[in-house]
Amino acid sequence: MKLASLKDGRDGRLVVVSEDLAYYADAGHIVASLQAALDDWDRYEPALRLLATDLQHEAIPLERFHERDAAAPLPRAYQWADGSAYVNHVALVRQARGAEMPDSFWHDPLMYQGGSDAFLGPRDDIPLTDESWGCDLEAEVVVVTGDVQQGVSREEALKCIRLVGLTNDVSLRNLIPGELAKGFGFFQSKPASSFSPVFVTPEALGDRWRDGKLHGALEVELNGQPFGKADAGEDMTFDFGTLIAHAAKTRKLGAGTIIGSGTVSNRDSDGGPGRPVADGGLGYSCIAEVRMVETILRGQAATPFLKAGDRVCITMHDDRHHPIFGTIDQTVVAA
């Protein structure tokens, strides 16, 4: 089952979307919003599934689904907690600045609490006030949970996953060092993230969803050129069950919590820092990583951060080359 929220007020209008993303059926007669559905999933999920089946059989009136009309599936959420599960990415950051990475990073997940009060839709512009802030994309996988009890195990946590999707976790790289030096983590350096047009239930992902990970190439384009195609199922040191259990160690998590994977990143096959797609590599899921690789290889970064007019696309295709979650397609605009 694929769910989206059409732009309408603060919480959008919940719709069920056909598997090929061509059509939708309004779910308003079942439940008003995706958050409300997640709040009482056992009650609403069966009815939403029946609607999805009717939609697939064209047994009900269909409406054409336009990704541009979609808000983030959860236009606002009560929790957005983003991990950093591709430790390869963290190791590269450290290597670029000549810092050692503690061994604990391989068994204790990094996670930060993000702002969740107002997300961007998949086609919304990225507003940027000051290009010197160093605006970056970060292509990631996310899951949405139901209620999660405190102290949950990895295995129990996996059962709490209701939906899977993609995000562009926009970051202001040049504000990060100052904020992290203050010791309280990210705040100003993390403006609103955007999310894929639809979120998908795990079972509808088939073999793509296994071991608590989403498998497949996360395709990133920058200004129409291939930028990254790392496999989200590879080199993910901490699966989503482990990330959720980490988040729930000292407190329960409310239904509708969004947990992020952190920037997807694959090791190069030769063990090196990775090559651009144009050079036959898997490329990158954020600009910071290519800048780190450039710094390691050539002493300084060459690829600039995002500026007004730059365009970012993030998607993942199924085996028939259909986008599974639709496409995040955003342009940076001066704000």
Give the binding site for a second copy (CB under 8 A).
10, 39, 76-79, 81, 84, 104-105, 108, 110-118, 127, 129, 133, 150-151, 172, 175, 180, 182-189, 191-192, 246-247, 249-254, 256-257, 335
Could you tell me the two tokens for 23?
Answer: 């059509």
Given the complex with a second copy, which of 115 and 226 has the nearer CB atom?
Answer: 115
CA distance 263 to 289: 9
> Where do the H-state alpha helices sit in the chain?
34-39, 41-56, 87-96, 154-159, 176-182, 240-247, 287-298
CA distance 163 to 216: 17
Residue 293 C-beta: closest distance to a second copy, Å: 21
Given the complex with a second copy, which of 166 and 253 has the nearer CB atom?
Answer: 253
Phi first, then psi: give them for residue 304, nearest 5 degrees: -75, 160
Given the complex with a second copy, which of 257 and 315 has the nearer CB atom?
Answer: 257
Residue 182 C-beta: closest distance to a second copy, Å: 6
Region for residue 170 given its phi and psi (left: phi exceeds 0; alpha: psi -120 to 50; beta: otherwise): beta
Helix (H, G, I), strand (E, B) or coil at 290: helix
Residue 246 C-beta: closest distance to a second copy, Å: 8
Given the complex with a second copy, which of 10 and 322 has the nearer CB atom?
Answer: 10
Given the complex with a second copy, which of 81 and 314 has the nearer CB atom?
Answer: 81
Residue 186 C-beta: closest distance to a second copy, Å: 7
Given the complex with a second copy, which of 265 and 315 has the nearer CB atom?
Answer: 265
Residue 315 C-beta: closest distance to a second copy, Å: 25
Given the complex with a second copy, which of 32 and 204 has the nearer CB atom?
Answer: 32
CA–CA distances in Å: residue 327 to residues 189, 234, 322: 24, 21, 10
Residue 189 C-beta: closest distance to a second copy, Å: 7
Question: Cβ(300)–Cβ(94) under 8 Å?
Answer: no
Residue 185 C-beta: closest distance to a second copy, Å: 2
CA atoms within 13 A on the CB side of 52: 20
Q: What is the dihedral of CA 318, 321, 324, 328, to 10 degrees?
A: 130
Please state whether beta strands 13-17 and 2-6 pair in parallel, antiparallel, or not at all (unpaired): antiparallel
